[in-house]
Amino acid sequence: MLRRENVNGIIEEHYIRSYDPGNSTLAQLVFALKYDGIDLDIFNKVFQQIKPEEIAAFVEETPSGRFARQLGFWYEELTGKEIPLRKKVTGNYEDLLDPELYVTSPHGVKSARWRIRNNAIGGRRFLPLIRRTSAIRAIEDTDWRGLIDETLKPFPPEVLCRALSYLYFKETKSSFAIEREEAGASRAEKFVAILHQAGGEPDPLNEEVLVRLQNAIVDERYQEKGFRERQNYVGQTMAGFCEIIHTVGTPPNSLRDLMEGLGAYYQAGMTMNPVLQAAAIAFPFVFIHPFEDGNGRIHRYLIHDVLARGQIGREGVLLPVSAEILLNLRAYDACLEQFSKPLMAVASYSLDEGGELTVHNPAEIEGFYRYPDLTAQCEFLALMLDRTIKQTIPQELHFLQKFDQTRVTIGEIVDMPDRKRESLLMRLYNNKGKLAQKRREGEFAELTNQEVTDIEAAFHDIFSAEA
């Protein structure tokens, strides 16, 4: 390689002539394996144009060559076609994926046919890749449970106990708000109840389980009996009722197979770091969009479900990741667009007057869903989780401590009923420590001016103090 340049955020690599693999398609793929990394969607598309006999002849030229054997293995794995080898391959067993470059399974399955150790997580139906960037390595090296314990250690058990219900409510409210929806009391209670069940199902991606989850979180009029059978999309209605399509869900013909592949990937990825696994399950789910309604909330629920299984957090402690996502919606949108923009650049579709969308090239875009690169999504979730643990949760717990301290202080100034004291606290908090004149003359007319002055001063002292 001669030099490397970063041009407008795109890395360009310039090679001297001796690196030129020539015009052979298979030689070009070997070059990609050596220097470019793996894009399974491109590999699969190229393989569809190549006959098994061509692969056989190429491998037989160098039957002990590592890259030729990897190419043969990938061909059979992705296409399901058998290569008619006439010459037995030789050489030491080689990893299918370089563990230095990709997140892999520690329990590779040996293929005697190719002398390859298949350490990829997933299979033909769903096989995403996660590149082992410095950020991904940091995620794997982080003691997430220890980090949470360290955050919670300064707070007494009674504060943690009181905080728990609030954290569940905060996650629920934030998850709805991300989609610009208000969670009414009934819907909020249902979602909180579901969050309490996170990690409890043995097979969380089973269709029956997901349908039950979808039915519980959407309006009963939009409950579904199974995965959708129509094409759906995420769009935005503009002036003049012009519809902008942001992304399309998996075409219906391949949806069920993809969801089964996602479920198999979940089972195969039990050895993965829980944070990486949570991202690698939750984000593909929302890309696939298996329901007409509720996909976003289920996507964020799955984050908690997988984290709970990986014991990220103390028992019964929920990490309100959606609250942090809500504060970083642009970054969240950019994370989703890492997938949707390349997809929509290839997708060919039409929208009729009734709002029915038809994808005209489903086979061409299928690989985007089956073989995504989830590195950016894993890095994003870890960042949100890190901020949740280090910032959001301590802030909420300190707030509760101050709230409790103010409650006690108000009781020392005026012995009032609990409910009225709670109302007074909320009025003060919502009005930056001041009791509005309208409230003083109405709801709290019995308080003297001195009592109000003392209560406001106490509130200011407690809430302005450093945590």
Q: How far is CA 413 from the centre of its chain?
A: 49
C-beta atoms surrounding 15 within 10 Å: 13
pLDDT band at 2 (very low <50, low <70, confident <90, very high): low
- Tokens representing 292 are 């007409």
Whole-number pLDDT of residue 214: 93
Confidence of residue 176 (pLDDT cuts 50, 70, 90): confident
Whether pLDDT at 155 is above 90:
no
**120 band by pLDDT with thresholds 50, 70 and 90:** very high
- Confidence band for 12, pLDDT divided at 50, 70 and 90: confident
Closest CA to 135 of 335, 312, 321, 380: 380
pLDDT at 141: 97
- What contacts 114, CB < 8 A, 6 or more positions away? 69, 70, 72, 73, 89
pLDDT, position 369: 97
Q: How far is CA 133 from the centre of its chain?
A: 17
In the numeric block, the tokens 């398609």 are attached to: 25
Domain range summary for the chain, segments of one domain joined by +: 3-118, 141-396, 414-464
Question: Comparing 188-197, 214-223, 298-307, 367-376, which segment has the lowest mean pLDDT?
Answer: 188-197
Place of tokens 């309006």: 219
Q: Would you place residue 382 in the very low, low, confident or very high pLDDT band (cuts 50, 70, 90)?
A: very high
Measuring CA to CA, how many Å separate 428 from each of 406, 407, 409, 410, 432?
11, 12, 14, 12, 6
> Can you give the pLDDT at residue 57?
95
Cα–Cα distances (Å) from 404 to 317, 399, 421, in that order, read 20, 9, 11
Kindly state the percentage of the chain with pLDDT values over 70: 95
| pLDDT of the residue at 467 | 55
pLDDT of residue 333: 93
Q: Mean pLDDT across the stretch 371-382?
A: 97
Report the predicted TM-score, pTM, of the whole model to 2 decimal places.
Answer: 0.90
CA 68 to chain centre: 35
> What is the end-to-end Cα distance of the chain in Å, rounded?
54
pLDDT digits (tens, 9 = 90+) for 240-297: 556 788 999 999 999 999 999 999 999 999 999 999 999 999 999 999 999 999 999 9
pLDDT in tens, 196-251: 888 888 899 999 999 999 998 888 898 999 999 999 998 876 555 567 889 999 99
Provide the pLDDT for residue 9: 58
Q: 308-317, 347-356, 384-393, 395-404 — which is least confidently predicted?
A: 308-317
**Residue 189 has what pLDDT?**
83
pLDDT of residue 255: 97
Q: Which residues contact 365 (CB under 8 A, 6 or more apart)?
A: 248, 251, 343, 346, 347, 359
**What pLDDT sits at residue 77?**
96
Q: Which fold has domain 141-396?
A: Fic-like fold (1.10.3290)
DSSP string for 116-151: EEE--SSBTTB--B-B--HHHHHHHH--HHHHHHHH
φ, ψ at 145 (rounded to 5°): -65, -40
For residue 355, the model assigns a pLDDT of 83
Helix (H) or strand (E) holding 253: helix 252-268
The half-sphere exposure of 229 on its side-chain side, counting CA atoms within 13 A, is: 3
Cα-to-chain-centroid distance, residue 110: 31
DSSP-derived secondary structure for 263-311: HHHHHHTTTS-HHHHHHHHHHHHHHH--SSS-HHHHHHHHHHHHHHHTT
